[in-house]
Every structure is written in structure tokens, then in C-alpha cells.
Structure 1
Amino acid sequence: MAAALIPDRPLRIGLTGGIGSGKSTVAAMLAAHGAWVIDTDALARELTAPRGAALAPIAERFGADMVGPDGALDRARMRARVFADPAAKAALEAILHPMIRQLTQARAAAGPPDAVRVFDVPLLVESGRWREQVHRILVVDCRVETQVERVMRRNGWPESQVRAVIAAQASREARRAVADAVILNDGIGLEALQAEVDAVWSRWVSD
């Protein structure tokens, strides 16, 4: 879909940021403004939850031991597998990405007709296809050291694991290069972050 073919309204915003950047907090703030948020990570979790549509093809491709005792994808086991094997990563993406795209379109269509659509996409830059599907891209950015500290505190991961995830994602520079606006979420509190989000909303939506 070419950018020129996207209807002028409702506004479509692509939201992205590295792990630990605070992107989910920004998404919640945009939702409080009335945006209809489609979280592609949440869709991936839905597809790999118990009885999720992606479980059968994943088990067929990677083995039944990739499904945990709770009936959901063993995310830690799968994460270790795809980080160690680029072919496995490509195979997983070949299963999940078409399903996520289909669900994303369905959830976007289900929202209130006039609500701003916010597509919360961690791999927006890596996918290479979102620039032509949204009107604006908002990047939430912070220093790598801040990412590491936040994720270690939140997830309890060792530093090496956090840095491996960061290294596998697009660089800060690559994300900023596609951005129409950047929120630097580093060394600021929630009140200041809210002010930054409010300013972007006012500039893009309210004016």
C-alpha cells in the first residue's frame, strides 16, 4: 500500500522503540487521549497463548517441546533457539508475521471510525514495510544503558541477555532516521513524559 493511498482520516501513527524504551507507557498515554492502539506484541502473545492459532505450526516446525506445560509457547526456550539460529528465527517469523498482519488489520478495522490508530510495533524499522502504511512515525528513544537497567530490573534478565536483545534490534540511529517525532525518555519522570506525549498529540491530532 503506497502512502498516497492511505485515507487522510483517521490518522495512522506507527509507534516504535527499543526494548526498555518506555514505548508501552507512551502507548497507554496515547490511548488515554482516545487513540485506538493495536499492540503487535500483544497479538503475538495471543497467537502463542494456549489454543493460539500459531501453536500447531510452531510445534510442527520446532517440536512439541516448544509448547510448555501450560499449553502456551515456551517463550524462553524459543527465544534461546532463535537467538542461536538465524534460520530458526526466519522460520518462526514466516509462521507468525502473516498471522500478526491479518490480526493487525482486523483490530484496526474494529476500532471507532474516527479514532486515531496507533500501531505499536517493536520491529517497525526492521520490517521495512510500515513507512507506507502510516501517516506518522513516533519513536521512543533512550540510551542503551538506560534500556539495560530498565529491562534487568523489570524482567530479571542478566545483562548479557538484555544486550543481546538490543543488538538484535534496529539501532537507535536507524529508528530516529525514520521518525517524524522522537520522544527522548531518558532521565525524565512520568509527568515530563506525559507532557512530551501531549505535545505530539496536540501537534498531530488536535491542531
Structure 2
Amino acid sequence: MQKTLRLGVTGGIGSGKSTVAQMFLAHGAALIDADQIARAVTGPGGAAMAAIAEAFGSEYVAPDGAMDRERMRRLAFSDPTARVRLEAIVHPCVAQENERRTREAIAQGSALVLFDVPLLVESGHWERRLDAVLVVDCKVETQVQRVMARNGLERAAVEAIIAAQATRAARRGAADVVIYNDDGVSLADLQQQVAQTLQCLGL
């Protein structure tokens, strides 16, 4: 039986990572979205909520039973240890749900499980769970222009987001495969790069 390949997909904001991930789905890959799982475990009735309420107090739980994200953001900004405490609660819950969904995908016969992880390089703990890392890459100025157009943000706000993420060089350094998605790269070009990647991975 063919071993299921675990491929992490990452890229800076505005790189087109989600577009590339969707193209892999068209080739039969199973997709596991790390951000979506993190939102689920801190959502109403989420697996992390009892521990969050115990560690931080009920004032950090919104009326619907989800984590009060805005209040938690303010706390994490003023108290760096709060973020560490929060991650110590959330990360194991996310890892457990990741594993559950991965087992499910393998049971359904998926040859490739794609992990969409925006902060894969920054996290420091993802890479050991993966067989390979794919980085969707583009120039920083392209990121800035795309996010300004998409989100209506000022240049300074977009540059601050980019500065908080891993550098382009750090992401490329962590990559086993790079898909280039700068201006002038068409959807057809992207699809061709995805097909070549699958071929390289033996899929």
C-alpha cells in the first residue's frame, strides 16, 4: 500500500497559498487547514475552551462560549507570557485534531494530505510532522500590492503584518519545493507548477 505523503504548504500573506492549496485538491489531495482548526478549538464548545476559562477567567469567554479574541489579543499584547500560556493550551488541541483528520484522510485512501499552515516556519514545531514543505513564494512588493487591493489596508499596515512573519529567505530556506507566484504568473502557470510538484513527489 502506498504511504500517504504529508505535505505542509505555507507562504507569506498575499502569496497565493490558498489558491495553490485548492489546486492540489483538484488532484485528489485531502486538505487540513491549521487556522480553521485553531478557530474551531477556541470556538463555542471547542476542545480548548474549558482550559482557557480556567487559566484566564470567564471574562475571556464570549457570551456564545467562544474565546473572546479581542480581549485575548489585548492581554497577549500587554503580557507576553499570556500568549505562551494560551499556546500551551491550544497547540495540543490543534495537534490532536490534526492527527484525527489525518487518520480519517488516510482511511479514505488519500495519497497526499496537505497541511495549510500560514505560520509553519515561525512555529518551529510543524516541520517534524511533515514529509515535505512547499512554499508559495513571491516578491515582498507583490505581497504588499495584493493585500492592499484585497483587504483595503494602508501600506504601513500590510508592511507591519509582513514584518511579523518569517522572512522570505527563511521560508525559502525551509522549503523542499518552491512554487513561484509573482505578477505575470497565470493560473495556468500555477497549475503546471502544481502538476510538476506532484510528479516530483511521485504522485
Q: Please, what TM-score do these two structures have when normalized by structure 1?
A: 0.83
1:205 alignment partner in structure 2: 202
RMSD across aligned C-alpha pairs, in angstroms? 2.5
Structure 1 stretch displaced more, 100-109 or 136-145: 136-145
1:4 alignment partner in structure 2: none
Amino acid at match of 2:11: G
Q: Is the 8 A contact 2:28 2:110 kept in 1?
A: no
2:193 alignment partner in structure 1: 196
1:15 alignment partner in structure 2: 9
Q: What are structure 1's unaligned runs of at least 5 residues? A: 1-6
Amino acid at match of 1:141: D
| Number of residue-to-residue matches in the alignment | 200
1:61 alignment partner in structure 2: 55
SS at match of 1:205: coil
Over 3 Å counting, the alpha-carbon distance change for 1:95 and 1:119 in structure 2 is: same
Q: How does 1:68-147 map to 2 (within 5 A)?
A: 68-111=62-105, 112-147=108-143
Q: Is the 8 A contact 2:144 2:158 kept in 1?
A: yes
| Cα distance in structure 2, aligned partners of 1:25 and 1:68 | 32
- Post-superposition Cα deviations, 1:97-136, rounded to whole Å, max 9, x if no partner, equal 1111111111100012342111112222123233332222
Over 3 Å counting, the alpha-carbon distance change for 1:156 and 1:128 in structure 2 is: same
SS at match of 1:137: strand
Identify which of 160, 171, 180 aligns with 1:175: 171
Q: Is the 8 A contact 2:30 2:110 kept in 1?
A: no
Over 3 Å counting, the alpha-carbon distance change for 1:149 and 1:75 in structure 2 is: farther
| Cα distance in structure 1, aligned partners of 2:165 and 2:86 | 16
Q: What are structure 2's unaligned runs of at least 5 residues? A: none
- Residue identity over aligned pairs, in percent, reads 54
Q: Is the 8 A contact 1:142 1:186 kept in 2?
A: yes
Structure 1 stretch displaced more, 8-17 or 43-52: 8-17
The Cα shift of 1:181 comes to: 1.0
The Cα shift of 1:175 comes to: 1.1
The Cα shift of 1:158 comes to: 4.4
2:147 alignment partner in structure 1: 151
Over 3 Å counting, the alpha-carbon distance change for 1:78 and 1:176 in structure 2 is: same
SS at match of 1:13: strand
